[in-house]
Structure formats: structure tokens, C-alpha cells
Structure 1
Amino acid sequence: MPDTHRLIDAHHHLWDLQRRPQPWLDESGHEAIRRNFRVGDLRSAAGRPIAGRRLAATVAVQCVASVPETRDLLALAEAEPLIGAVVGWADLESPAVGEVLDGLLHGPGGRYLRAVRHLVQGESDVGWLQRPAVEAGLREVQARRLGYDVLIRSHQFGQAIRLAERLPGLPLVLDHAGKPPIADDDVSDWERDVRRLASHPQVTCKVSGLVTKADRTAWTVGDIRPVWHVLLDAFGPDRLMFGSDWPVCVLAGGWDRWAAAVEELLAGGTDKDVTAILSGTASAFYGLPDSAATREEDPVPMTERPHADVRADHTRGTR
């Protein structure tokens, strides 16, 4: 199935609370998602197509600072055709991070590890991404031709911008568009910072997690549109990728409601631009195969992954 007919969800989560508790779900306001969510639940939830495209592949993203969770996700990707890539976790400050990454890459499902992530949004250190140990860890990530998912709150952009400046060869993707404060009705500071980050060509951006930064019960497409236009102008469609942030999006209407909003926001775009946002950018960044049928072989060897040489909260519910 070529990219022109595919929909890729570049950001979703899975969890089994009996196997691996998620302490952040104990916080008030998360009651609706305080249960298990598995791949079959995602298939059932993602019933609505976007621009005629139905869900064909996904990127499963870590939730907790846990190497065992990453191993679970990789093993699941090996067995589950829907999952085309995994964003895992490793302790970037550990001197052994390279060995840990190698163990993940050579373990069950290791070929699906395409990026790592840390919950920087929960770090109080305003320079966490610039810690020498963290930067050394990120160089180990880069050396293995993996990408890095940047999860920050809107006031933490300075760290991400400095990271992009210092490691221009590390492919970065901004999760949830940097969490613009849509509910506050003032995104001017966010716009300034997201444009600064977007000026670095190795940075792409996930259009995800926006509805949980708006009024969760009363948001409209009109609330999201100003942010959408900024992202299109700053990154261009070839550096934007659709993500559901499921099941967290259940807190603000669910997968289908967000999918309907995205289709409305895409109205008037060219076929090329729509394809980039709905599949092309994610496929290139995460090295997804063209179809599930190619999973018999490593679809994109690490040394040839498209993003390898790119240069040129749990707050308010998103992770």
C-alpha cells in the first residue's frame, strides 16, 4: 500500500497496568484512561479515516522511564503488523547508555527501535538537555542512527533550541508541537519559540496532543486552527506528521473526533501536502516500511534509514 493511500499514526501509547503501572494516571483528571489499552483497542478506536485514508501503521511511544517497557514494545512490534516503529527509553545520563541501546537494537524486535525519548517536561532543571552526561548520551543515540523525540512544555523551548544547535546531525521530532497553551488563548510566546526551533532543518514536528492543551470538553476546530497555521508556515508539510496521542486523546473526545478535526484542517491542501502530513513525514523519519508485507525483512537498514543523514505532561494529559 503506497504512502498516498496510507494513514500513519506517529504517536500513540499502550499500557497494561497490571504488568507495568503508570503512576501518572493516578492524578486527578485521568480517570477515563485509568485502564489497560492494547493494540486491539486502538484498532477499534481508530474507525474514522482521514482524507479517505485508514490507519495502516503506527509508532508506539514509551510512557515511563523503563527499559523493560521498551523491550515489551519492541517485542510487540515484532509480532504486531500495525506497529511499524517504536520510540523507546534509555537512561541518557548513564555511562552505559550505548550498551543499553545496543542491547535493545539486537534484542527481540530491535529493528523497530527508531528513536528514544525522555520526559523532559517533568524535569525541573531548565538546562537538563544541556547536561554533559545527557549530551553524551544523545551522541550515542546519534551514533546508532536513531532519532530523538523532544517532549517539552512550552516554557522549555530554550533547551530544545540549544540541543538543535549543538547536535545538528541528530534527527529531532517535537512531540505535541511543544504543547502550545491553547486553553490560555495566548500562543504568542509559543509561536516565537516554535519558529526558532523550526529554523533548524533536522527538526520535524508531530501535530498531536493539541486537543488536551485546549478546553478538553468544549474545544472546536477554530481553537486549533491558529496553531495549525503556525506549524504549517514554520515547518511546512514535509516536516509535519499526524499523531493521535491515543489513548490520552480520549480525555478530549477521542481518536475519531481528533481525526475529523484534522481532516477539516487539511481541507484545501494539495494531495502532496496531505500525504506528507498523514504518512510521508512519519515514514521518512521513523523508517517505516511501505506496507506490512515487507516486514519479513528489515524494511530499512539502520545505515540507510532516511533520517540518518538529515541536516539542511504528563501535564494537561499529553505524554
Structure 2
Amino acid sequence: MFVEAGAAGTTDEVAWAESLGWPELLGVVAHAPLEQGSRVVTELAALREASRTVGIRRLLQDEPLSSFEDPGLLEGLRALARAGLPFDACIRHHQLAALTALLAKVPELPVVLDHLAKPPVATGDDGTWERDLRALAALPQVSVKLSGMPPELRDDQDLAPAVRPWLEVALDAFGADRAMVGSDWPISAMLPRRLAPGRWLSIVLDELAASPAEREQLSWRTASRFYGV
């Protein structure tokens, strides 16, 4: 699965991804300016015409909390639901409560939370992240992507034991049928740790002591069901 990287031109990025000729590419999660509200319908239709478009991501991680109350964004999410495309929500942990309030207004839209909302792995959780994550997990249309954690660590933290408690909370909150492993490639691969996607998958499955059924869900089945591939 190719997930948008903030490149200029939404359809251009999809066309570029498809032109790579990767035989393993099953779909593209494209960018769309959902904050444009009903005006985004035309762009969604164009992306829908691209055969590999299976979802939409509009990065929200650097937006102010007030943006989650924008009527335009809400209408854009509703338009996305009508278009039959799921939403990748990429935010930071302090935005979790705002995201939950927003998504509660669009129960018909399937959503996956990217990177566990980038939890405070380096400093520790005072309870806020877990509380807010569980509140989000209470929305049945939301899944979680177990990804993007290596960039959040301090240099002196050992990866596997550092991420284990965060992964355990996420799996307990969502369950394996609403959780999927994501590689965060190439960002995690460019760090000094140079974490290959296969290695991250192994770490997640091993640290969670996942059962055979859970391994199947986490490694491919949940993602296949969510994106329809």
C-alpha cells in the first residue's frame, strides 16, 4: 500500500505511484483537500477514476486544534464517506480528543488512526494518551495502524521494549480485527536505526506475543478488509 507523502498534485502523485510498476502495489491512499468541504467532490471523483486509489489521507498532525471544528473539514469527511473511500487520520497524541469528537459526527466513515497518534514514547504517558486512545477506539468505525513509532524514540531507547507497552494498549483497545501493522516506509528506514519494514513487522508480532489468528489479522487481513483489496 502506497500512502501519500504530501506531494504537490493529488492525481499526479497517484499516477506517479502507479507508474513505478511495483507488482506488489495493491492500492494508493491519496491526498485530498478535505477542508474544502463539498468542493472536494470533484477531486474525489477524479481520484476514484484512478484504479489504485483505495483511501484518502489529509495530514492533520500540524494543524491547530481549532481545525478539527472546521465545518468544511466535517463536510469533506462526509463527502468522502459518500464516495465510498476510507480515511487515514494522521495526527499527534494531543489531538486525539479533538479527532474523536469530529469522527463521532461521521459514524458512516471508516477511519484508520496512523502511527497510534504518535504517542510520547520518549517522555512517557501521564495517562492522557491511553485515555484518549481508548475513547477513540470506542467509535466502532475506527481502526489503528501500528506504525511510525521509531521516530518518536530517544536515541538511547532500545526499540523493542520501548514500544511494547504502547502496542499492548493499542491492541487491547482496538482488538486484532481493527488493528494493522504499517511500515512507515521510508521514514523509519531513513533513521539511524534503519528499520526495514519486515523487521518492524517481526518486532510488533513478537512483542505482542500475537497468536496465529492475531498475526494473520495484524499482518494483512485487517488492512485487506479496511482498504478493500
Normalising by structure 2, we get a TM-score of 0.91
Q: In structure 2, what is the equivalent of residue 151 of structure 1?
A: 90
Classify the secondary structure of the residue corresponding to 2:75: helix
Q: Quick one: which of 47, 53, 57 aligns to 1:113?
A: 53
1:281 to 212, 222, 227: 222
| CA displacement at 1:243 relative to structure 2 | 0.7
Deviations 1:91-130 (A, max 9, x none): 1133431011111212xxx122111111111112x13133
Q: Distance in 2 between matches of 1:97 and 1:74?
A: 21
Q: Specify the alignment match of 1:37 in structure 2.
A: none
Which has the higher relative contact order, 1 or 2, with Cα contacts under 8 A spaced 6 or more apart? Answer: 1
Change beyond 3 A, Cα 1:93–1:260: closer
User: Could you tell me which of 47, 70, 76 is aligned with 1:104?
Assistant: 47
Number of residue equivalences = 224
Q: Say if 1:217 and 1:86 are closer, same or farther in 2 by CA, change over 3 A.
A: farther
Q: How does 1:248-287 map to 2 (within 5 A)?
A: 248-250=187-189, 251=191, 252-255=193-196, 256-267=198-209, 269-287=210-228
Could you say which structure has the larger radius of gyration?
A: 1
What 5-or-longer segments of structure 2 have no aligned partner? none
Q: CA deviation at 1:187?
A: 5.3
| CA displacement, residues 138-172 of structure 1 (integer Å, 9 cap, x when unaligned) | 11111011001111101001221012210000000
2:157 corresponds to 1:218 = yes
More helix, by proportion? 2
Shift of the 253–218 alpha-carbon distance from structure 1 to 2, 3 Å rule, reads farther
Question: Residues 242-253 of structure 1: matches in 2 within 5 Å?
Answer: 242-250=181-189, 251=191, 252-253=193-194
| SS across alignment from 1:121 | coil
Q: How does 1:295-314 map to 2 (within 5 A)?
A: none
Question: For 2:133 and 2:139, how far apart are their aligned partners in 1?
Answer: 10
Instruction: Give the 3 Å change call, closer, same or farther, for CA 216–248 of structure 1 in structure 2.
Output: farther
Q: Which letter does structure 1 place at the counterpart of 2:81?
A: Q
User: Helix, strand or coil for the counterpart of 1:184?
Assistant: coil
Q: Matches of 1:73 and 1:207 in 2, distance apart?
A: 26
Quick one: which amino acid aligns to residue 90 of structure 2?
L
Q: Distance in 1 between matches of 2:155 and 2:106?
A: 36
Cα-Cα RMSD: 1.8
Q: Which one of 53, 56, 77 corresponds to residue 138 of structure 1?
A: 77
- Contact 1:119–1:151, Cα closer than 8 Å, also in 2: yes
- Match of 1:114, SS state, is strand
Return the letter of the residue paired with 1:286. Y
Q: Percent identity?
A: 35
When residues 114 and 228 of structure 1 are mapped into structure 2, their CA distance, relative to the original with a 3 A threshold, is same
Q: 1:192 is matched with which residue?
A: 131
| Residues 253, 137 of structure 1: alpha-carbon distance in 2 compared, 3 angstrom cutoff | same
Please, which of 61, 66, 69 is the counterpart of residue 127 of structure 1? 66
Unmatched segments (≥5 aa) in structure 1? 1-58, 289-319
Q: What TM-score do you get using the length of structure 1 for normalisation?
A: 0.66
The worse-fitting range, judged by mean Cα deviation, of 65-74 and 142-151 is 65-74
Which amino acid letter does the alignment assign opposite residue 122 of structure 1? D
Find 2:114's aligned residue among 151, 160, 175: 175
1:260 deviates by: 3.7
